Amino acid sequence: MPSCPALFISAPASGQGKTTITAGLARYHRRQGRRVRVFKTGPDFLDPMILAHASGAPVLSLDLWMVGEEACRELLAQAAAEADLILIEGVMGLYDGTPSSADLATTFGVPVVTVISAKAMAQTFAALAFGLARFRPEVPFYGVFANRVGSTRHAQMLQAALPDDLCWMGYIAGDAAIELPERHLGLHQAGEVDDLDARLERAADVLAQTPLALLPPAVDFRAPSLSERNELPRLLDGKHIAIARDAAFSFIYPANLTLLEALGAKVSHFSPLADEPVPEGVHAVYLPGGYPELHAATLAHSALSAHTIRAHVAAGKPVVAECGGMLYLLEQLTDTHGATTPMLGLLPGHATMQTRFAALGMQQLDGIHGTMTGHTFHYSKLTTPLTPERTAIRAQGGAAGEAVFRAGPIVATYMHAYWPSNPAFAAALFNGAAF
């Protein structure tokens, strides 16, 4: 069975610096010549961009509900067979959500280090660490790491307050040259942080002096053998799918792209921001989520991209649009300053950006092929005369979730689907079939 040193990096809440520490640690071990595989807990697109840049390898999602326990187990086993170290970054606080980061770490026996921002805090740091370690005794708690520490004396106070059986994994000072910049929806995209490598190297240098840099215990990851796995049917054999991919359209699960290729599709990319056309011979177009609101003026002047997308739709060829991709298809998009920009006009409606999120959480979509899982997280509100083809439901409680609209060959929704949860459902979308 594959075994590999592995560490789960969590925190008492969001904003504690989990991604900074995980990325710095990945860069440190990569500098040592180790093959590092990093995973991100839950639905996230932005943190994985940073973590992939730090580790030099794609960052996949782990989630007991959205991805599923057996699929998570297989992903971890594959990584363990290839890597010298596995790092898993948690989501929100250690015990937040159902299922939580704690549930994931416990299911696979991965030792947990909790990162606590110690700014404006002294002995209460130890109380937080104590509570996280004792709240559920079955969680494989490994140690505690202090972030944003003010001085050596401050660090000594934090460490001295810890119970003897709680392992001190070291600390890192508050440093604006290390912290990762944020905005609405989360961190800046990796390609937008000009000095990202310098920040990662600085974090790696500091972490190298801490116990956190030592290799953690090895974990055995059991998964079905290759001979026991079911081969995916070639439901997209011979199909060519073009994906919009640039700073405006970048919220893409790597596992989704892997699935398209496993189903037989050829995948290529084009950039509406660079006014690139939809490639010739394309059978379907995917417009993923991202930040069209930050690039609305540029998109409005990308005439060649607009022309070829409109021609694709006029030819009756499928378009799958999620969140920001759906906004691009609307008639208008209004930003938080009240500026309204025309979009492609292929879907009737108007979206308005807000300063607070409009929807957040796990959702599932039920159709003729079964259930496909995913999530929603957006700051815009949509006004449209379209009647939903289907409506997703929330994972907890079963309340109505995001609408899924169908207009000619276009399928559009705010929901970000995790396609490996139902390959037949995903194939139906790109084949323009009933779902």
Which residues are identified as catalytic?
Answer: 323
Distance (Å, whole) CA 420 – CA 177: 38
Nearest to 370 by CA among 44, 64, 68, 40: 68
Q: Is 105 helix (H, G, I), strand (E, B) or coil?
A: helix
Please name which of 145, 121, 150, 123 lies closest in space to residue 133, comparing C-alpha atoms. Answer: 145
Sign of CA dihedral 410, 250, 416, 291: negative
User: And the tokens for 143?
Assistant: 């140690």
CA distances, 342 to each of 64, 149, 202, 243, 385 (Å)? 40, 47, 43, 22, 18
DSSP string, 187-231: EPPGGG-TTHHHHHHHHHHHHTTSGGGS---EEE-----GGGSPP
Distance CA 297, CA 249 (A): 15
For 284, the 3-state DSSP assignment is strand
- Going by DSSP bridges, is the β-strand pair 60-62/85-89 parallel, antiparallel, or unpaired? unpaired
β-pairing, 416-417 vs 182-183, is unpaired
Judge contact between 39 and 59, C-beta under 8 A. Answer: yes
State the Cα–Cα distance between residues 163 and 222, nearest whole angstrom.
34
